[in-house]
Amino acid sequence: MKARVVQALCTFLIALATPAWADIGREEAAVAAQRVASGRVLSVDKAEAGKRPVWRVKVLTSQGEVRVILIDAASGRVVG
């Protein structure tokens, strides 16, 4: 009985410590970034900005520029 309580508590604490990446997925982040800088998505990576989880999306524009767009992983809003 005690072992189950300890296991449940540990699972709960681990879940709290893990960033919530599941709110906005990789594909959704790519689409959001393309709205800001239309072009071809080169990469989508997990990162942190201001202690919050973000997606770092690299987009190659039609002018040949590489732009980095940061998408908030929880809300899907552009943060940088």
Q: What pLDDT, in 10s, does the model give residues 6-60?
A: 565 545 555 544 454 448 899 999 999 999 999 999 999 999 998 899 999 999 9
Domain boundaries, the chain: 21-80
Amino acid at 64: G
Tell me the pTM.
Answer: 0.71
* pLDDT tier for residue 5 given thresholds of 50, 70 and 90: low
* pLDDT tier for residue 80 given thresholds of 50, 70 and 90: confident
Q: What is the CATH number of domain 21-80?
A: 3.10.450.40
Would you state the pLDDT for residue 18? 46
Task: Name residue 59's beta-bridge partners.
Answer: 41, 67
Rounded to an integer, what is the distance from CA 71 to the centroid of its chain?
7
- Where do the DSSP E strands lie in the chain? 39-49, 52-61, 66-72
Q: Which residues, other chains included, contact 22 with Cβ-Cβ below 8 Å and sequence gap of 6+?
A: none
